[in-house]
């Protein structure tokens, strides 16, 4: 193993600290502002307060937008995972040349710029006389994140040993029993990982949402509209809560997705 000099190690440590400071340092600004009053650049460190969180609880516009975002995120994630399972099973067991075309159709929306996907969906909904609402947002997000769910699931499915499935059939299990009792349990980590990735991507999606949304705004659209007038202190509380929720998701992902021996050795 290559040994680094003390000066090189110190230099790498300083660079690492600098990178982490630039990446995560700005995140502490809204967190601190959610607990302490800030006026003209001065922070009242001696007067902590939860007034920003209290104001957030009474901000119906933000609460409604946040609930809409959760509804869209969970719905799009659920649909993407279900469709991802179906498409992955078809690709794993199918033999037709149409499988490659299916993969191309699934991956294309994810590879294209979101503004093009949003415009295409907007034109489709208008020509089909479908009113824009949260339903159209869910459809747009599902199409966008489907590639993530499909790719995560199909890779895990292809690595699944064929002997497990053959043993299930030899023991008298039907196709449905084999799927529910053999295949799905082995896809558990892939399904959880796909769900986390899809929800995170859906939660942050703005461009597609702007083009296909109706009168019900999601949180990114609401914050986008507030940029012109400036953010109120309760937005700092919202950022702190979202960061806490995101950190919790990361902890759960590490806990349930990584092999236990990797966690124990860390």
At 202 the pLDDT is: 92
At 247 the pLDDT is: 81
> Which residues, in sequence order, are bridge partners of residue 42?
39
At 22 the pLDDT is: 84
- Residue 45 belongs to a domain: yes
Using the predicted structure, report yes or no on whether residue 4 has a pLDDT greater than 70. Answer: no
CATH number at residue 186: 1.10.3720.10
197-214 pLDDT tens trace: 899 899 888 889 999 988
Using the predicted structure, report yes or no on whether residue 130 has a pLDDT greater than 70. Answer: yes
Taking each helix axis from N to C terminus, what angle separates 233-257 and 6-35, rounded to the nearest 10 degrees? 130
Confidence of residue 236 (pLDDT cuts 50, 70, 90): confident
- Residue 179 belongs to a domain: yes
Both 129 and 259 in one domain: the answer is: yes
Non-local (6+) Cβ contacts of 65 within 8 A are: 217, 218, 219, 221, 222
For 144-183, b/e burial (b = at least 16 CB within 10 A) is bbbbbbbbbbbebbeeeeeeebeebeeeebeeeebbeebb
What mean pLDDT, rounded, does the chain reach? 83
Q: Give the C-alpha separation, 147 to 247, whole Å.
A: 24
Both 18 and 125 in one domain: the answer is: no
Residue with tokens 């966008």: 144
CA geometry: angle at 75 spanning 70 and 79, to 5°? 150
Of 218, 226, 242, give the one whose Cα is nearest residue 30.
242
Q: Which residue has the higher pLDDT, 181 or 1?
A: 181
Both 100 and 20 in one domain: the answer is: no
Both 236 and 211 in one domain: the answer is: yes
- Residue 194 belongs to a domain: yes
pTM of the model: 0.80
The mean per-residue pLDDT over the stretch 127-135 comes to 91
**For residue 115, what are the domain limits?**
60-265
19 CB neighbour count, 10 Å cutoff? 10
Both 85 and 174 in one domain: the answer is: yes
Pairing state of beta strands 36-39 and 42-48? antiparallel
At 197 the pLDDT is: 87
Both 22 and 104 in one domain: the answer is: no
> Which residues, in sequence order, are bridge partners of residue 38?
43
Q: How distant, in Å, are the alpha carbons of 75, 163, 175, 258 from that of 70? A: 8, 40, 35, 26
Domain count, the chain: 2
Using the predicted structure, report yes or no on whether residue 41 has a pLDDT greater than 70. Answer: no
Both 89 and 114 in one domain: the answer is: yes
137-165 pLDDT tens trace: 999 999 999 999 999 999 888 888 888 88
């Amino acid at each position: 193993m290559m040994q680094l000099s003390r000066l090189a190690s110190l230099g790498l440590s300083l660079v690492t600290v600098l990178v982490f400071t630039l990446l995560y340092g700005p995140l502490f600004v809204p967190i601190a502002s959610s607990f302490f009053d800030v006026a003209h650049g001065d922070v009242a460190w001696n007067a902590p307060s939860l007034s920003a969180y209290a104001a957030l609880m009474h901000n119906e516009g933000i609460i409604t937008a946040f609930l809409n975002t959760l509804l869209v995120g969970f719905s799009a994630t659920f649909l993407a995972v279900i469709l991802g399972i179906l498409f992955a099973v078809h690709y794993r067991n199918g033999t037709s040349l149409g499988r490659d075309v299916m993969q191309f159709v699934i991956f294309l929306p994810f590879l294209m710029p979101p503004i093009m996907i949003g415009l295409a969906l907007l034109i489709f909904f208008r020509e089909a006389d479908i009113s824009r609402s949260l339903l159209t947002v869910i459809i747009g997000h599902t199409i966008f994140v489907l590639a993530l769910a499909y790719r995560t699931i199909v890779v895990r499915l292809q690595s699944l040993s064929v002997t497990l499935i053959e043993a299930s059939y030899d023991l008298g299990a039907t196709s449905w029993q084999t799927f529910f009792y053999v295949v799905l349990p082995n896809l558990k980590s892939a399904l959880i990982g796909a769900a986390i990735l899809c929800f995170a991507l859906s939660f942050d999606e703005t461009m597609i949402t702007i083009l296909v949304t109706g009168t019900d705004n999601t949180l990114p659209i609401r914050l986008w509209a507030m940029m012109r007038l400036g953010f109120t202190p309760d937005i700092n509380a919202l950022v702190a809560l979202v960061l806490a929720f995101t950190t919790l998701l990361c902890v759960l992902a590490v806990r349930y997705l990584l092999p236990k021996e990797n966690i124990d050795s860390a």
